[in-house]
Structure 1
Amino acid sequence: MGVGTRLAAAAAMTATAVLLAGGTAASAAPVPATATARAAAGAAVTFQVASASPALAPTPFTAPGRRLKLGAKGAAVKALQTRLRELGYVPGKIDAKYGGTTQSAVWAFQKVQGITPTSTISSRTWNALENPKAPKVLVPSGKPDRVEVNLTKQIAVLYDEGLVKLITHISSGSGIPYCETAVWQGREQRFCGDARTPTGNFKTTWRRPGWHKSYLGQLYNPIFFNGGIALHGALSVPLYPASHGCVRLPMHVAEILPGMLGTGVPVHVRGKFRR
């Protein structure tokens, strides 16, 4: 399966996850979309990241107020996508179609606002879009360029020169101990772990473009920051911690993140998810 097909599949899988879970990401300097991102969107598109900061008031916005569900189309969806992008989330292409990429941005936004993530856009979410809260700063004394991973909220925030550049929905380590058998380095081996995403202060190290095979599965555009733990794209990024320890990202976010996040950038992991 080609990467473009995988990305399109990821959006569909995210949409399916919405229905199963019942109910997040980004865009300030223009960031060109790659051919892969265009293929996933179904047309040419340029991802842009809207700078946002707790010190800057968002522009006025009047919500359409129309109740939206996954699969909806039209002007109200376009207004939703445009507002999410303006606030620093990544809804994907502004195409007036409420699909999986927009849903992941909605999830991220709702979690930052203290709204239980849902596939339905109702009055509470529209009201929050009119008067949005900025994500909580986890490391006030952190460097201007950094990533903050909030395990409690299951979101990640990219800061650039002290401004919020990207906010995304994530899925971190499940915390469920595992033992799995896999063929690695030419022989069958057994791997066990606690499936935790450790908290602490780290820095981005090595990375790989495209799909990278690890002994526990496939990682898309991984950016490692703590040994074998990475920020990476995945075909499944549910509303609960589900990884072996890495920080899973929606595929369209993982597509653009390597161009926005350099090597040696601090990554601060805080919090704890409570089921």
Structure 2
Amino acid sequence: MAALVTGTVILSSSGGASAAAGVPAFPAAAVETAAQTGTASFTAPGKTLKPGAKGAAVKVLQRRLKELGYDPGKIDGRYGGATMSAVWAFQKVNGLKPTSTVARRTWNALEAPRAPKVLVPRGKPTRAEVNLATQVMVLYVDGQVKLISHVSSGSGIPYCETANWQGKTQRFCGDARTPTGDYKTTWRRDGWHKSYLGQLYNPIFFNGGIAFHGALSVPLTPASHGCVRLPMHVAEVLPDLLGTAVPVHVRGKFVR
């Protein structure tokens, strides 16, 4: 993850099947339910699912999430971490308390889902929006929702850490904050990128040293030094969907 520090910007770390295909055409001026946006009707199997579950009902869940723009990873009928992160994102967008369990309320929402809240109604047709309040990132491409992902942003907890950087032992301090504002994507790296405070996977920078990047830990609460952590399978596909000089809008505030 990246963090802003007094006098400098430092970086830190944490840390498929592509969502580019088969996602819906939710308009940027999103309306309340998928039925209103033309998404095909869906009847939930209603079976309670938890991580580790296997079978046809899991595959139905995965296909529905992908249809709505969430990336559940490989559609294989296995409820693993990738599917869980997509469930979290869906639940948060639909006003449900995020939980790894898919039960009646989540199935009901999957039958009549909400589109994600538009943070910048007059934004460019292709842009990324980060909602810090819900810890969700939405990527719009040509005015359509292309990808919705669970994220973990800056924890807001001040830190000081010692790291070996450029052959020297240095101490870095910051407030672990992901600033709100309007930015644009800049440089990026493929694979693991070593930063001041660790490793970032497939980072795409948009505000100095602050980037979208894959992480091995993407909890439900903000936990990074400032970057926007993504599930690893989302970080695999995002570079092909999010180009350079694309607007990135960060809004909201997470309340613990």
4+ aligned runs moved over 2 Å, structure 1: 48-55
1:161 maps to 142
The answer to whether residue 97 in structure 2 is matched with residue 116 in structure 1 is: yes
User: Hey, what does 1:38 align to over in structure 2?
Assistant: none
- CA distance in structure 2 between the aligned counterparts of 1:116 and 1:186, rounded to whole angstroms: 46
Report Cα offsets for 1:89-134 as digits up to 9, x if no partner: 0000110111110000000000000100101111000000000000
1:49-95 deviations in whole A, cap 9, x for unaligned?
A: 44333362321000000111111111110000000000000000110
46, 51, 58: which one aligns with 1:77: 58
TM-score relative to the length of structure 1: 0.83
Tell me, yes or no, if structure 1 residue 91 matches structure 2 residue 72: yes
The 5-angstrom pairing of residues 1-275 of structure 1 reads: 27=19, 29-30=20-21, 48-53=22-27, 54=30, 56-275=37-256
- Cα distance between partner residues in 2 of 1:164 and 1:156: 11
SS across alignment from 1:102 = helix
AA aligned to 1:252 is: H
After superposition, what is the alpha-carbon deviation per residue over 1:245-272, rounded to whole angstroms, capped at 9, x for unaligned?
0000000000000011000000000000
How far apart, in 2, do the equivalents of 1:158 and 1:128 lie?
21
* RCO comparison, higher one (Cα < 8 Å, 6+): 2
Backbone CA RMSD of aligned residues: 1.5
CA contact (8 A) 1:174 1:195 kept: yes
Counterparts of 2:26 and 2:239 in 1: how far apart (Å)?
20
Distance 1:137 1:121 in 2: 25
Aligned equivalents of 1:182, 1:242: Cα separation in 2:
19
Q: Give the secondary structure class of the aligned counterpart of 1:147.
A: strand
Residue 26 of structure 1, CA deviation: 7.2
Q: Distance in 1 between matches of 2:107 and 2:199?
A: 37
Q: Percent identity of the aligned residues?
A: 74
- CA-to-aligned-CA distance 1:169-211 (integer Å, 9 cap, x gap): 0000000000000001110000000000000000000000000
The alignment's TM-score, normalised by the length of structure 2, stands at 0.89
AA aligned to 2:108 is N
Partner of 1:16: none
Residue identity matched to 1:269: V
1:227 is displaced (CA, Å) by 0.2
Write 1 or 2 for the structure with the bigger share of helix: 1
Runs of at least 5 residues in structure 2 that lack an aligned partner in the other structure:
1-14, 32-36
- The alignment of Structure 1 onto Structure 2 pairs a total of residues equal to 235
